[in-house]
Structure 1
Amino acid sequence: MCVDDCEYEALPNSPIHVNMMAGALAGITEHAVCFPLDSVKTRMQMLATQPQTIYTSVRGTIARVTTSEGATALWRGVNSMIMGAGPAHALSFAMYEHFKSVFGADLPGNRVLETAAAGACATIAHDGLMTPFDVVKQRMQLPCGSRFSNTLACAKYIFRTEGLRAFYVSYPTTLTMNIPYHMIHFSAYESFKRTLNPAGGYDPMSHCLAGGMAGGIAAAFTTPLDVVKTVLQTRGVSQDADVRKVEGFRDAARLVWKNGGGMKAFVRGLGPRVMTHVPATAISWTTYEFLKMAIVGNTESPLHAH
C-alpha cells in the first residue's frame, strides 16, 4: 500500500507503539538539534553574584563560553537529554493521543479545553521520567560541569552529595511550569494546524509552522517559571550560600526577585528559550507527524487497507 493513499485523518488513532516510536524519535531530534541554545538559556538563568559568572545576552554568552571553555562546552549534558528525551517523549505522545480520544479532542470543531486537558495528562507522565535527566543536564551545562567526565559521573556526584531528593526537588515547579506550557502548546498547535491546513491532510509545512508558533508562544508565557526551575536544579553547585539554602518554589522565587532586581529577573533567558522552542517544536511536530504517516502507512492495519 502506498503511503500517499493512507487516510491521514485516522492517524491520531494509530497504535500506541507507533505514537511512542514517533514521539521518541521526535523528542530526541528536537533536543539534540537545539541543545546549544538551551545551554545558553541555562547560563543566563542561573543566579550568580560574581561578574565573571553572570551572562546577560545570547551572543555574549556564546562568545564567552566558546572562548574560555571551547565550543564543545555548549554540548555538555546532551547525552543526558537524549537518554531522557526518548522514553519521556514516547510516553508523552502516547498519553496525549490516548487522552485526546478519551476527552473527545479528536471530534470536529475547535476543542481547545479537551486538547489542553490531554496535554496536561501527557505532561505529568513526561516530567516524571524527564526531571532527573534534566537536573543532570543542567548541572553539566554550567561552568562547573567541566569537572564531570560524563553523564553518569555527574549523576553519581549529585546522588552522593545531595541524595535522591536532588533529582526531584524541582519536580513540583517543573509541573507547575510544564502543565500550562503543554496546555498552551498542544491547544495552540491543534488550532494553528486546523487554520493553516483546513483540509486536514498530511502537510509538512503547516505542521512545521503550527509547531513553531505554538512552542514559541508557550515558551514565552512560562519563562518566569523556567527561571525558578533552573535555580532549584542548579542550587547544589552554586557559589552563593543563599542559593544553596533554597528549599522549594517559594524560596527560589523570592531569591530570584531579590538578587535579580525584581520582575525583570523572571524573564532572564526569554530570548534563547523562545529561540530554542520555536525550531525545537517545529522539528518535533514535523518529525512526529511524518513518522506516524510513514509507519502507519507501511503497516497492514485494517484501518488503512484497501
Structure 2
Amino acid sequence: MEAKSHVSVNDEMPVEIPPIPQSHGIEAFKDIVFGSIAGITGKYIEYPFDTVKVRLQSQPDTLPLRYNGPLDCFRQSIRADGFRGLYRGISAPLFGAAVENSSLFFSYRISQRLLQSMVYSSAEPLPFSGLLISGAISGAFTSLLLTPIELVKCKMQVPVSAAGYKPGPLTTIASVFRHHGVLGFWHGQMGTLIRETGGSAAWFGSYEAVSAFFRKYSPTASSAIPHGTDKPPLPLHQQMLAGAAAGVGYNFFFYPADTIKSRMQTEDVALSGGNRSFWTVGKALWQQQGLKGLYRGCGITVGRAAPSSAFIFSVYEGLRFYVG
C-alpha cells in the first residue's frame, strides 16, 4: 500500500498530495532504457549515411559544388579518410541517439496520458489526431535536448581542414563555448524544433497508421506503444515495415529545416559575418539553389532512415514485450 504525503501550510490543516502511481515510474524507466538501446542500434546502422548527408548539406553556396551526389561523396570520403572516416564524430551521436529516442518514447507516452486526462476520455484509446499531437509535443520537447548534440556532431562530420587537424568532441565543445558561450550550443534550435515537432508527428503518426492497417488483418496483435503490452505485438516483419514508413515520413516532409540547420551549424562564422538566423540562411539557400538545394542529400537520408527506424521500433517493442 502506497504512503501518502502531507504538506502543512502555515500550520493549518495538512494538504494531502496524491501519490504518483508506481506503475507510471516503471513505464517511464522502461521507455528511457529501451528507447536508448533502440536508438543506439539504429545510429550504428545509419551513421555513415548521415555523415554523407551532412557533407552534402553543408557545401558552400558558391559553385562548383564539392560533391556531385551521394555516391561521389561516399567515394571522395572513403578515398580521403577510409571507411572509418564515415564514423568520425560518432560518440556524440550515439549519446544523442540514446537521448533522442528515450526522450521521444518517454514524452510520447506522457503526452498521450495528458491528452487523455485533459482533452479526451481516459477510458478510450486516443484518436489518430491525438496521437499526432502527442508526437508533435514529444518532438518539441526532444528538440531542446538534441540541438547541442547535433551541433557538435555536424561540426565533426564536415571535411577536415587542409592542415589535417581533426578536433575531437571535447575540443569542439570547448571551442563552441569559448566563442559563443552556453547559448551557442543552441545555434540552429529553430531548425531542430521545426524538424522534430513536425517530424515526430509524422514518425509516430506513420508508425501508428501502418500498424493500425496491419492490426485490422491481425486481430490478435497489438501495438505496444500507445496502450501497453497486454497482447503480443505485431509480427516482426510488420513492425519493421511500419517502422520503415515512420522513418520515411519523418525525414522527407521536414527535410528542408534539417538542411538549413546543418548549414547554420557548420558554416564558418568568420566568413559569414556572424551567426546567421534560420530564416536568413534559408532565404539565401533558396535564392541560390532553390528547392533542389533544400532537399540536397534527401534521397540518401530517406534511404538510411527506413532500415534505421525499422530497427528502432522493432528493438523497442521487442524489449518492452519480451523483457519488460
TM-score (norm 1): 0.84
Distance 1:58 1:164 in 2: 34
Moved more, 156-165 or 181-190: 156-165
Indicate whether 1:183 and 2:195 are aligned. no
Indicate whether 1:117 and 2:133 are aligned. yes
Report the counterpart of residue 7 of structure 2 in structure 1.
none
AA matched with 2:252:
A
Report the counterpart of residue 3 of structure 1 in structure 2.
none
The 1:110/1:98 distance shift into structure 2, 3 A limit, reads: closer
Which among 153, 156, 174 is matched to residue 137 of structure 1?
153
The 1:13/1:216 distance shift into structure 2, 3 A limit, reads: farther
Report the counterpart of residue 256 of structure 1 in structure 2.
285
Matches within 5 A, 1:93-172: 93-104=105-116, 111-144=127-160, 147-172=165-190
Q: CA deviation at 1:125?
A: 2.3
Distance 1:14 1:99 in 2: 16
The answer to which structure, 1 or 2, has the higher relative contact order (CA under 8 A, 6+ apart) is: 1
Q: When you count helix as a share of all residues, which structure comes out higher?
A: 1
Matched position secondary structure for 1:147: coil
Q: Summarize deviations over 1:151-200 as a string: whole Å, max 9, x none.
A: 11121122223332321011122101211111111111111011123322
Distance 1:161 1:144 in 2: 19
Unaligned 5+ segments in structure 2 are 1-22, 223-231
8 Å CA contact 2:142–2:196 kept in 1: the answer is no
Indicate whether 1:204 and 2:233 are aligned. no
Report the counterpart of residue 264 of structure 2 in structure 1.
232
Matches within 5 A, 1:1-306: 15-49=27-61, 54-104=66-116, 111-144=127-160, 147-198=165-216, 199=219, 200=222, 201-202=232-233, 203-235=235-267, 237=268, 241-242=271-272, 245-260=274-289, 262-296=290-324
Q: Summarize deviations over 1:128-168 as a string: whole Å, max 9, x none.
A: 11211111101111002763342111211222233323210
Unaligned 5+ segments in structure 1 are 1-10, 297-306
Two-structure CA RMSD over aligned residues (Å):
2.5
Q: How many residues align?
A: 282
AA matched with 2:321:
M
AA matched with 1:155:
I
8 Å CA contact 1:99–1:118 kept in 2: the answer is yes
8 Å CA contact 2:133–2:201 kept in 1: the answer is yes
